[in-house]
Structure 1
Amino acid sequence: MNIVHKAFFAAEPGQVVTSSGRQYRITHLVSIDSVFATDLLTGDSARLRVDTLQPVHPDEEAPSTIPSAKDIAQYSDKEWAEAQRRFQAIKPLLDNPVRSRTDAEMIAAQHGVHAATLYKWLKTYQEAGHVSALVPTKRGRRVGVKLLTSEQEKLIETVIEDEFLTKQRNKPQHIVEEVERRARLAKIAAPHPNTVRNRIKALCIRDTLRRRGHRETARNMYEPILGEFPGADFPLSVVQIDHTPADIILVDEAHRRPIGRPWLTLAIDTWSRMVVGLYITFEKPSSTSVGMCVSNAICSKREYLAGLGVSGEWPVWGVMNTIHVDNAKEFRGAVLERGCEEYGIDLQWRPVLRPHYGGHIERLMGTMANQIRKWPGATFSNTAERKGYNSEAEAALTLSEFEHLVVDFIVNVYHQRKHSELGMPPRRKWELGILGDATTPGVGIPPVPENPARLQLDFMPFFERSVQQYGIQIDLINYYDKVLNPYINTTDPDNDKKRRQFLIRRDPRDISKIYFFDPLSNAYVPIAYRDIGHPAMSAWELKEVQRVLREQGQKDVDENRIFEALGRMRTIVENALHKTKAARRQATRNPTKVRTADKPAMPAPVENVGQPSIEEDLFALPVVPFEDLAVSR
């Protein structure tokens, strides 16, 4: 039986929680981010912040020890398709809090199951809070294992392709009969009719509708509709995400010299206009920056604000129903799409050449641009506005200072002032949606992520690797920890001729450690460099080092050569910080963020005779952005 971790918990009256090591029972919801609770030991009443609470799990040591049977990337396509099918079946019940038994029976009939089965799926999902809990588990052979011969599988596939996925729209029974007829002709055993029907059910619904002549239906079901967003009538119903290069020149931390423009990724709740998440970086948009913004949106902002030193409150967290984005490639990728599917988020793409679909986020971007132009180093939107103003000469803000100002403006200005379309501040609109008023009920305080670190990992790039005697190798970098010892040279449980592949995730901002999904503990374990003397490095730095070595024609590149080249590259960057913007921008890719002002001058680099120097290669052209962060297999 699968053991699943609960992704979120909702603060509700009567629930037992812990805060600062003490147990309380919630009595009342006070505001959008706080509750009244009674201390179970003393009986005293206290006001507690929701994002500081942890639920008490009976028969469990702690929430963080509740494992998941698998990482979401490990489920087969068929297992995941079935979980998605079950989620779509219960979604009408989730969206209708006043549902009746009759409603459930009607929906169950539509999906060919008993109402009791539908309620079982509903309970499983509500208890776990994520879609992977709906992956079927049963005794006997695992889901996804096919016992048919290759000839039988090919026969079913051919008949479905020829007879079912056509505008003729033949029914499943016709496909069953055609499979049996062709099996007789081929003199092979006919697959069971239920097997054929299951293959049909496993087809992608969107592609099936289109190929069977229902393009309009597929468009209405899976693409945004013209006009207002359907269902965008409560908090977190629809969130729009987009990014833009900020109209401002920033400076480096060490010399306070110009470095370039940052990229700003923002997420906005279309119903209340509250900003729900953001991510700021010098790297061009990638699936990683989108994933970081999504995880920032879902998680509590309390520690984030404290880390930035921003006063004020940002009481926004919780999983959204729909994320709406444009068609840029950074919004597409297996990691982002499966991460959204895991938490029941409907990821929708904006129709091409229809910019009005992104109206809310674009207006927010315009508001932010107007504010950024007031800060030193602004580039303005055109040359006429910039005339007489030297942006680089006036630049004064570092990346961290810029992020502080952006968040401070969002929390203490944008959320608090009256919005022209709402007729009230976004913060007030959000409160009405959460708590309601005398005439309209609220949706309640959104459930809080129990394990934010795990949620962030679900949106990180992943790899599959075997464990060798030296540990695990990714991009020629070796990692090792004794936790890997039981898995050295193990074979695949289903094929003893193949090495067993394990799931690894990596934060591209700092690849000095990876996160190994341990199948015994069903949890992620951080694994450091095998050679702990190597410096921390970002994936962007690694890509740049490998590019330089490749262009120099060096062969037999190994880990030692990579870190030697990294050392030479950083030496060049340190020496060139006061000369070039490219060097200062490259320095920001160092996860250790070493300040040259605090270190002695470094010696000049030794160049390879007869080969172009790293300095010539590094600064001859602008750095190519590291785009391929979605999946590496």
Structure 2
Amino acid sequence: MFHSPVHDEAVAEDRVPERGLLTVPDAVWAVAVRRAEVIGPLAEAGTAGEEVVEAAAEQLGISRRQVYVLLRRWREGQGVVSDLIPGRSSGGRGGQRLSAEVEAAIREVVRKHYLTRQRKTTAAVHREITRVCRTRGLPVPSLGAITRRIAGLDPRAETTARQGADAARSLESAGGQVPPITGVLEQVQIDHTVVDLIVVDEHHRLPIGRPYVTVAIDVFSRCIVGLVITLEAPSALSVGLCLAHMVTDKRAWLERLGIEVNWPMAGKPGELYLDNAAEFKSEALRRGCEEHGITLRYRPLGRPHYGGIVERVVGTLMEMVHELPGTTFSNPAQRGSYDSDAKATLTVAELEKWLALAVANYHGTVHGTTGQTPQARWVAGAAQTPAVAVANETAFLVDFLPVIRRTLTRTGFVIDHVRYFSDALKPWIARRGQLDRFVIRRDPRDISRIWVLNPEGESYLAVPYRTQSHPAVSVWEHRAAVERLRAEGRAQVDEEALFRMVEQMRTITDTARSTTRKARRDAERRRKAGAADSWDKPAAAGPPDDTLADGASRASASDTASVAPFEVIEQW
């Protein structure tokens, strides 16, 4: 029997703080994840009878009354793991846990009836499991539970049993994971690549180099559900931006691009299938996905063909890019004597528009594997299992921003030589001796404000620079300024010297950008981020209890006028 390391009476509390993601110890978080695995499916099943509640209580090592409390929390909350943290709320939707007897019956029936050359359907297997469980006096598992267990079978062993060894070898060599994907957003693959194209800056229309693209594709429909163009190499932020683009309605984004195309694909993925790059294994991504009920899976090491679906679509996009002026082609041999710099004409914004149009065209083209257009397959799949879109992009993106931990002082927070302060911090400052280090999120594109997690885990609070006359800068500008100060022999870096150096470097960049590629790239990145002169200075953040519905801090009225919200910040 599983026993919680936290006192069981904590479960009896009513609703408590919502967003304790990163302040919760791993041991306590594991308890919440375990609870979600049992409570989530139980809540979705509808009315919970005495037998299933008793089974859940036995699995979790708590009383029946506490099971009902957890069910109420899950149903009244957002259906995430953080609703079930002992003593508070916690997030992530997990798989179902059944009794050992039921699991044994499932394994027996799957082995005898599913893993055979007769190749029975999942529905037929579920009917047989229902018959066996009723005969033995066991609770009947849902069709969804059986589907999840079949999806978790070893793909090669499953194909070998149902279709023979030859079929299994053929599927593996074709690239791509074999487990059956039966619905939209059940599995999404994400990957990055450098674009085979030289782009130009907005001001001088001169070359600034090759951007990067992060692409997310829905495996079931083959629709591209997320797309992000950056001037920085792939990072944890690229992944967060792609996820935010994936889960929200794209109409507002398309309007900002000034194009009219149909791109209805949006929603929260059930599983992300990723390679083993560092940006896909960050703490922010892991905890953010757990909070939102998104499973993370990684390609087997040494088996690159397992990510073949996303890699093929990226390759298709790059083949289309090769038709654009300024393309670098796939390699020097293919490029030959073509002068990519001299032919370059597209800015990052124009490339983004072109890619959006290309994706819309791709969605309307019959796919060679599925035999349908991606859009038609999406519509059919969404009719069976509707996609769950996220209404508040701000709150969602904050959950995936890079994480920093700092101690609160009387003058606020100090991060990389920069002080942040808001009057809203004063209640926390008064009892800072009782508080641990704070969890802070920071957008690398603009460090003029940070997002501080309430110590009780309720919400994020936006906290601006203490000296609000400082310009908004990116992490990359900040690091370059620190390096320049170190090179000048500064043993200590102070805030005023740091921002003076930023201004000097910007002046140099603005002067040199007509002749220097790096200077033009830096200036373009700053312009695309909406930093510096395009923003007013941030005002004091609102009170700690003024929060967004999804848990992110809502700025005060003065903030709304002065700080550009996430929804309208351009990618770079």
Q: Structure 1-normalised TM-score?
A: 0.64
- Match of residue 79 from structure 2: 129
Distance 1:523 1:488 in 2: 17
Alpha-carbon distance change, 454 to 589 in structure 1, aligned in 2, over 3 angstroms: same
- Match of residue 313 from structure 1: 262
Contact 1:462 1:506 in 2 (8 A): yes
**Which residue of 393, 402, 416 corresponds with 2:364?**
416
Is the aligned partner of 1:488 residue 2:463?
Answer: no
The Cα of 1:503 is off from its aligned counterpart by: 2.9
The Cα of 1:98 is off from its aligned counterpart by: 12
The Cα of 1:99 is off from its aligned counterpart by: 10
Stretch moving more, 348-357 or 236-245: 348-357
Letter in 2 for 1:467: L
The Cα of 1:471 is off from its aligned counterpart by: 2.5
Is the aligned partner of 1:362 residue 2:311?
Answer: yes
SS at 1:314 equivalent: coil
| Structure 1 segment 468-617 matched on structure 2, within 5 A | 468-488=409-429, 490-493=431-434, 500-518=436-454, 522-590=458-526
SS at 1:70 equivalent: coil
Distance 2:302 2:48 in 1: 39
Contact 1:242 1:265 in 2 (8 A): yes
SS at 2:214 equivalent: strand
Distance 1:102 1:427 in 2: 44
Distance 1:552 1:571 in 2: 18
| Structure 1 segment 31-180 matched on structure 2, within 5 A | 68-90=17-39, 121-122=70-71, 124-127=73-76, 128-137=78-87
Contact 1:510 1:591 in 2 (8 A): no
Q: Which structure has the larger Rg? A: 1
Distance 1:310 1:451 in 2: 23
- Match of residue 404 from structure 1: 353
SS at 1:291 equivalent: helix
SS at 1:313 equivalent: coil
The Cα of 1:135 is off from its aligned counterpart by: 0.8
1:43-67 deviations in whole A, cap 9, x for unaligned? xxxxxxxxxxxxxxxxxxxxxxxxx
Q: Which runs of 5+ in 1 are unaligned?
A: 5-67, 144-219, 436-441, 494-498, 599-633
Taking every aligned residue pair, what percent have the same amino acid on both sides? Answer: 38
- Match of residue 145 from structure 2: none
- Match of residue 447 from structure 1: 388
| Structure 1 segment 129-278 matched on structure 2, within 5 A | 129-137=79-87, 226=156, 228-278=177-227
The Cα of 1:313 is off from its aligned counterpart by: 2.5
SS at 1:525 equivalent: strand
1:431-484 deviations in whole A, cap 9, x for unaligned? 11111xxxxxx11x3233243211110001222333333322111111222212
Contact 2:188 2:273 in 1 (8 A): yes
- Larger helix fraction of residues: 2
- Match of residue 612 from structure 1: none
Letter in 1 for 2:372: M
The Cα of 1:363 is off from its aligned counterpart by: 1.0
- Match of residue 405 from structure 2: 464
Q: Which runs of 5+ in 2 are unaligned?
A: 1-12, 91-149, 157-171, 535-572
Alpha-carbon distance change, 104 to 315 in structure 1, aligned in 2, over 3 angstroms: farther
Alpha-carbon distance change, 270 to 221 in structure 1, aligned in 2, over 3 angstroms: closer
1:17-62 deviations in whole A, cap 9, x for unaligned? xxxxxxxxxxxxxxxxxxxxxxxxxxxxxxxxxxxxxxxxxxxxxx
SS at 1:588 equivalent: helix
| Structure 1 segment 339-350 matched on structure 2, within 5 A | 339-350=288-299
- Match of residue 164 from structure 1: none
Q: Structure 2-normalised TM-score?
A: 0.71
Contact 1:231 1:237 in 2 (8 A): no
Alpha-carbon distance change, 540 to 429 in structure 1, aligned in 2, over 3 angstroms: same
Letter in 2 for 1:430: W
Letter in 1 for 2:331: N
Distance 1:571 1:408 in 2: 37
Letter in 1 for 2:357: D
Letter in 1 for 2:325: P
Distance 1:373 1:558 in 2: 47
**Which residue of 361, 364, 381 corresponds with 1:433?**
381
SS at 2:410 equivalent: coil
Alpha-carbon distance change, 369 to 428 in structure 1, aligned in 2, over 3 angstroms: same
Distance 1:592 1:560 in 2: 25
Alpha-carbon distance change, 454 to 387 in structure 1, aligned in 2, over 3 angstroms: same
Alpha-carbon distance change, 114 to 224 in structure 1, aligned in 2, over 3 angstroms: farther
- Match of residue 189 from structure 1: none
Alpha-carbon distance change, 126 to 316 in structure 1, aligned in 2, over 3 angstroms: farther
Distance 2:270 2:464 in 1: 36
